[in-house]
Structure 1
Amino acid sequence: MIVNESVLSLGISLIALFLAGFLGAKINQSLVAIFIVVGIILQNFFPVTIITEFIAKLGIIFMLFMFGLEFSVGSLLNNKRKLFNTGMYDLLFNFPVGLVLGWFLGYGLLQSILLAGIIYVTSSVIVAKSIIDLRRSANPETEYILNVLIFEDMFIAVFLAFIIGIVNYGSMDAKGACFVMLKTSAFFLFFIILARTSKKFIEKIIDIEHTELFVILILSIIVLSAGAASRIGLSEAIGAFLAGLLLSETKQRHRISEAIKPFQQFSTAIFFVAFGMSIDYKHLGSLVPMGIIIFIISSFSKIICGYFIGKKYDLNKRAGLRLGFSLVPRGEFSIILAGAITMNSHAYPLKSLTGVYVLLSAILGSIMIKESEWFIKWFLERKKVWEKIPESGTN
């Protein structure tokens, strides 16, 4: 009976997702935000079921696997200096903002660090889609946007492993932190060495013509890697990310992506719905003002950071500002981080606050990217006016 009800609620969720997503596509709006809103609405009709929770967990696993699959250890090493420098500028500009806001909101150290990660990381999904839709792939700033996104995704993967490890270890003392860092580093290093040294062996194993068997094998690699990470106290998502990194070195990379993408799209949509269903919408109204404040502060920080990176790499003012505007949206990784630990007793429950923040930044951030030329024109015109004021004052 429970299973039947779960299947029925899943079916209703999927119909609601389709209708909302269809409408969102018509108005060119972020599906991440729309799916969260669907979840917030659906919680009035039925709770999150065990089937929904399971598919949502698979959504995180497949999402991180696909991110890992997009990377190549070889290409990362070849572009390591520029990637590291742009990524570090972004980290130093934006991560401390979340720490300060966490302290201001009265969060503890672990929650403040988690909020810093939530505010720091840009939505790769929204930004990548915006670049394609707006045909900005050839723009001079796009290379630096992608470098920042790659660095952020790699950093958050390690960061998530660290946070989950600390939570599982049960403390935040120096000994626990060092133990988690060593364990995380060893796990990452194992997969990276395997990717660099066993490429031919892995190619041979996954070179299967039969489509069904090929999909089953890839799924088994993903799930086993996720399970291994969970077994040693890390996040399942990190194991999946490293499985993607491992398989990204193979000739079957494109085939793997095409085979797993339907699973990833379906389960990720359910993940966003499940997140929306976990948000206490009765308190959302009281969180909106703080969400707006955080959005304004973090957006300003990202725009200034993009402008700074542009100046460092000799981009013109317009390209630098476009770079900054492109880093404003938050989405999938912020939500994953918000679900890493539970903190609902605080005046600003982290999951609900993140829901408000992601909704604002996904919707308004997408608009800001699309209308960035208008914002830039307005800013540069104001800048010229202010620059002329001292001159007119001296005449």
Structure 2
Amino acid sequence: MIGGIVFATSSSITAKLLNEKGRMANAETEFILGILIFEDLVAPIFVAILIALGSGSAFTGTDLLLLIAKIFGLAAVAILLGKTVFKKFENLLVRLEDEDIKIGLLVGIATIFGGVAIYLGLSEVLGAFLAGVMLAEIGKVERIQTTVTPVQDLLLPLFFLHFGTTIDLLHGVPYVGLLITLLIWSIAAKLLVGIIGGHWYGLSKRVSFRAGLSICARGEFSVVIAAIAVAGIKVFAGIYVIIAAFIGMLLFNYAPKITVMIYGQPVKKKRNMRPPMV
């Protein structure tokens, strides 16, 4: 449970900061987005398994195989619908001029698929994620982004605010030593992901280090996993997520300055300005 909480970088926080800070064109951005996509693929499956393990009933190897079959079956249905039905969904969106109807339709699709996932004993997070996979197959996906982004900007803060209200600090902060250790390790681990992974990806040491500093924030998937934990772990996890998200955002903001402090100013390549020979 704690491993799952520490695992995933917050896609929403990181992607929003990349856009707001004007770093979408940076050399490390493609590498960062690749990590976020990978974690977004793994995390919903991990959540579904944790929910099954935490149900209180016996969980055997057969149950695990059945759970995996459900996950892949639901994913296959989503991909099939995305490649067939949702390929033609753009025509419907063009006809709909009322933005409120579009919002209701798109949120309804995510809610319905999340409900199907719950009916199968899986996580609604997995269902909502697969709904996004289906909608991404639409030809001009920017039509959806324009409609969904305001909803995201409204609901994301409420999501974290609601989770914060569920943290009961009546008995103090549990496992303080473990909390400090995990915060230090989780930042160091993401730095290693950036430095080593960036090197494998073909980035320079400077850019790889900056990438590592930019992926330290934990967020939505950590909150989802923390929400299914028992009382003591839930309080511990909630405090961890809040502190890790705050530290991660600070590290992201100061990543360029910290990189310059360690590696110095980048050397600008000299351009040959001589006129060509005639």
Give the conservation status (yes or no) of the 8 Å contact 1:284–1:352.
no
- The whole-number CA distance in structure 2 between the counterparts of 1:138 and 1:204 is 32
Matched, 1:249 2:137: yes
Where in structure 2 are the equivalents of 1:1-395 lying within 5 Å? 114-168=1-55, 170-211=57-98, 212-251=100-139, 253-339=141-227, 341-344=228-231, 349-380=232-263
Q: How many residues are aligned here?
A: 263
CA deviation profile, 1:290-343 (whole Å, cap 9, x unmatched):
32221101111110121001221232111110111111111121111111x231
Give the conservation status (yes or no) of the 8 Å contact 1:226–1:238.
yes
- The whole-number CA distance in structure 1 between the counterparts of 2:56 and 2:70 is 12
Letter in 2 for 1:136: R
Letter in 2 for 1:277: T
Give the conservation status (yes or no) of the 8 Å contact 1:221–1:243.
yes
Percent identity at matched positions? 32
Once the two structures are TM-superposed, the CA of residue 204 in structure 1 deviates from its matched residue by 4.7
Once the two structures are TM-superposed, the CA of residue 177 in structure 1 deviates from its matched residue by 0.9
Higher percent of residues as helix: 1
Tell me the residue number matched to 1:82: none
Larger displacement relative to structure 2 (150-159 or 211-220): 211-220
TM-score by length of 1: 0.61
Letter in 2 for 1:236: E
Letter in 2 for 1:257: Q
- The 1:366/1:269 distance shift into structure 2, 3 A limit, reads closer
Larger displacement relative to structure 2 (200-209 or 265-274): 200-209
Once the two structures are TM-superposed, the CA of residue 193 in structure 1 deviates from its matched residue by 1.8
- The whole-number CA distance in structure 2 between the counterparts of 1:353 and 1:151 is 26
Secondary structure of 2:22's counterpart equals coil
- The 1:130/1:200 distance shift into structure 2, 3 A limit, reads closer
Secondary structure of 1:161's counterpart equals helix
- The 1:271/1:255 distance shift into structure 2, 3 A limit, reads same
Letter in 1 for 2:40: D
Secondary structure of 1:171's counterpart equals coil
Larger displacement relative to structure 2 (239-248 or 280-289): 280-289
- The whole-number CA distance in structure 1 between the counterparts of 2:110 and 2:253 is 36
- The 1:284/1:141 distance shift into structure 2, 3 A limit, reads farther
- The whole-number CA distance in structure 2 between the counterparts of 1:287 and 1:167 is 21
Ranges in structure 2 where 5+ consecutive residues have no aligned partner? 265-278
- The whole-number CA distance in structure 1 between the counterparts of 2:173 and 2:72 is 41
- The whole-number CA distance in structure 2 between the counterparts of 1:378 and 1:172 is 51
- The whole-number CA distance in structure 2 between the counterparts of 1:316 and 1:334 is 30
- The 1:179/1:138 distance shift into structure 2, 3 A limit, reads same
- The whole-number CA distance in structure 2 between the counterparts of 1:271 and 1:190 is 28
TM-score by length of 2: 0.84
- The whole-number CA distance in structure 2 between the counterparts of 1:364 and 1:134 is 17
Once the two structures are TM-superposed, the CA of residue 244 in structure 1 deviates from its matched residue by 1.6
Once the two structures are TM-superposed, the CA of residue 165 in structure 1 deviates from its matched residue by 3.6
Once the two structures are TM-superposed, the CA of residue 154 in structure 1 deviates from its matched residue by 1.2
Once the two structures are TM-superposed, the CA of residue 280 in structure 1 deviates from its matched residue by 1.5
